Chain A
């Protein structure tokens, strides 16, 4: 039975989450570093195609021609696993499934325990799912590098790896239902809707898409719409609900006042569930599908303005009068950065679905900028904020250094800002030049995009610095090297002292 007082009850519940949640966070950060490495190399390859194409291997041709290994020592040989296309797929899958999904599961598991007000049930099940999850991702990335990518965006993992991941995910879904059924709370807070729904939707999405595209494939154009129904819903029905749900929990928690309107949060949730799930077809505007499929998705994309604005108003009204706390609370600063990005990137997404704008932005770096805006400036920043809040409560010590957190925040914030600018501007110019058939593709358009791609690589260096700093700080916490006195770490401790 949980102890009687609220604070003690929360501490008790937090302790019960310790091993599984820290395991998911640790593996998330591991894959973040791996994915960042793939990202940087991929980005450099895009403007410098000869970068890292060779690995040291024996010169087989000379050896076969009668040379001895001594006479022909190891030299640099071209290899397939270093090629752009395989690194690009490895990057996406490492960050989407390795980093973002592991972080989402870790945060989701902790939120479930907190909001159901019960100690984590079946921790061994969650940890086992985590181990399987990691095996699946490692096997999948090895498969992609070995040349077994399925070449279906967001589903590149070969089927054998997808199966492992699917099983791991089903275990989490079963656990979530069990956890919810044994809840001790009287009221189901909106965060719990988001987390529970995400845990329920994703396995269904993942299974449907893998079956219909890879195991028992439907015809080409139907594959394409299933592909983007899935691809967009990974964002809309998996990352977004966890990210928004976490913001709905963290903002009121940190500033110490209830959410502005429960009514708005209900509208926001159900309109998101209804509209976001239909968005996928906007990736195929102009594509070989009947107009009704595309138009339905465009309508749903524009309707996304409703949940987005409702959620933004609700968060803003909750924050009102408390924006000063952004000056010292690390958690709040990351989360509010993410929540604001969510509003901006979603409105941008709705506009990109409109045919006349899509005509220009489709097939350009503009879309890549949009994807990083959503997955990094919104989702990843919210996950960082959550980890800054949760990890001290699991480890029983405080973050060691406000300086390291500040370095992480500014590297991430400036890095993603410059990346979005480079890709958005570069993509727009690219789209406008493509629209003019007089502009030569390789002779004019490709050289024009190169400086923007170099800019993107530089912004990626900033992001990498932030990731290394955060991973180092996290390791210190897990090793119990955090601070044990003086309370939580603030950016500006003097101001934090005199908070209202």
Chain B
């Protein structure tokens, strides 16, 4: 093994094995999945995201949501995910074809968000939760995302999307808290997270 060429052939051969197995083969096998057309209601699954929700996924990325929240539901034999009501079925590769980057995550300091838009679809709730998590979720250790909101003086009538905040986080009289474009996009993304639909490879048990 003292010859340089032999050593490098060895380095290359061992490494290329894993590259072929864990990079190339998966890409060939499930790297070109298409949406599934549900004949009953003529809907493509998974549905494409709106522009605002797509932008929201970038806010999700920029602020590191993945460090505490997963977006994957494991099958019943591989964990408690279904028992906790985090989904109607396990998630499969096709569920993620619109995701750039992927947000599967590795940590559950907070709950899984695969179907958060199904569990909680109130835009007002999400804004309040992002602004002051513990006010709507007692005991939460989620960081407050107040910097995604803006305090402004009320001119005339209060803004329709102003947050209904009481207590220590409330603004001074004459001022209101409104979401920035980033906050609106993030909430649009969160309420769009809904993978409850059945797929041929992942049916929903009735």
| Binary B-proximity of A144-176 (CB < 8 A = 1, otherwise 0) | 000111111100000000000000000000000
Q: Which of B37-45, B92-100, B157-165, B184-192 contacts A (4 or more CB under 8 A)?
A: B92-100
Indicate if the CB atoms of B140 and A442 lie closer than 8 Å.
yes
Indicate if the CB atoms of A278 and B21 lie closer than 8 Å.
yes
Contacts known (A151-B103, A221-B96); A86 close to B22, Cβ less than 8 A: no
Task: Choose among B74, B101, B143, B153 the residue that contacts A83 (Cβ–Cβ < 8 A).
Answer: B143
Query: How many pairs of residues, A versus B, come closer than 8 Å at their CB atoms?
Result: 242
Which residue among B26, B66, B144 has the maximum number of chain A CB atoms within 10 Å of its CB? B26
Q: Nearest CB to that of A50 among chain B residues? A: B144
Docked complex: B1-46 residues within 8 A CB-CB of A: 1-2, 4, 7-8, 10-11, 14-15, 17-19, 21-23, 25-27, 29-33
**Residue B63 at the chain A interface, CB threshold 8 Å:** yes
Task: Choose among A45, A193, A204, A290 the residue that contacts B30 (Cβ–Cβ < 8 A).
Answer: A290
Indicate if the CB atoms of B138 and A61 lie closer than 8 Å.
no
Residues of A within 8 A of B91 (CB): 287-288
Residues of A within 8 A of B15 (CB): 201, 204, 237, 273, 277
Indicate if the CB atoms of B64 and A83 lie closer than 8 Å.
yes
Q: Nearest CB to that of B85 among chain A residues? A: A437
| Binary B-proximity of A281-307 (CB < 8 A = 1, otherwise 0) | 101111111100100110000000000
Task: Choose among A201, A293, A437 the residue that contacts B84 (Cβ–Cβ < 8 A).
Answer: A437
Residues of A within 8 A of B145 (CB): 83
Indicate if the CB atoms of B147 and A79 lie closer than 8 Å.
yes
Task: Choose among B23, B67, B72, B79 the residue that contacts A225 (Cβ–Cβ < 8 A).
Answer: B23
Indicate if the CB atoms of A286 and B144 lie closer than 8 Å.
no
Indicate if the CB atoms of A219 and B139 lie closer than 8 Å.
no
Q: Which of B48-56, B104-112, B120-128 contacts A (4 or more CB under 8 A)?
A: B104-112
Q: Nearest CB to that of B63 among chain A residues? A: A85
| Assembled-state Cα–Cα distance A287/B103 (Å) | 12
| Assembled-state Cα–Cα distance A85/B141 (Å) | 13
Indicate if the CB atoms of A441 and B111 lie closer than 8 Å.
yes
Q: Which of A358-366, A375-383, A459-467, A488-496 contacts B (4 or more CB under 8 A)?
A: A358-366
Indicate if the CB atoms of B18 and A278 lie closer than 8 Å.
yes
Task: Choose among A83, A89, A280, A363 the residue that contacts B106 (Cβ–Cβ < 8 A).
Answer: A363
| Assembled-state Cα–Cα distance A86/B64 (Å) | 6
**Residue B196 at the chain A interface, CB threshold 8 Å:** no
Number of interface residues of B (CB under 8 A): 81
| Assembled-state Cα–Cα distance A288/B93 (Å) | 5
Indicate if the CB atoms of B93 and A53 lie closer than 8 Å.
no
**Residue A446 at the chain B interface, CB threshold 8 Å:** yes
Q: Nearest CB to that of B155 among chain A residues? A: A65
Indicate if the CB atoms of B67 and A85 lie closer than 8 Å.
yes
**Residue A474 at the chain B interface, CB threshold 8 Å:** no
Q: Which of A131-139, A210-218, A333-341, A386-394 contacts B (4 or more CB under 8 A)?
A: A210-218
Indicate if the CB atoms of B141 and A47 lie closer than 8 Å.
yes
Residues of A within 8 A of B18 (CB): 229, 233, 277-278
Besides A83-B143, A149-B61, A363-B70, 11 other CB < 8 A contacts? A49-B133, A84-B67, A221-B93, A225-B23, A225-B26, A227-B102, A286-B74, A290-B93, A363-B107, A434-B108, A442-B140
The 8 A-B residue pairs whose C-beta atoms are closest, nearest first, are: A85-B64, A220-B96, A286-B74, A151-B61, A277-B18, A286-B78, A221-B93, A273-B14
A–B Cβ pairs within 8 angstroms, 18 of them: A53-B143, A65-B153, A84-B143, A89-B67, A149-B64, A153-B66, A188-B7, A223-B100, A224-B96, A225-B22, A285-B74, A287-B104, A288-B90, A288-B93, A289-B93, A359-B79, A363-B106, A434-B84
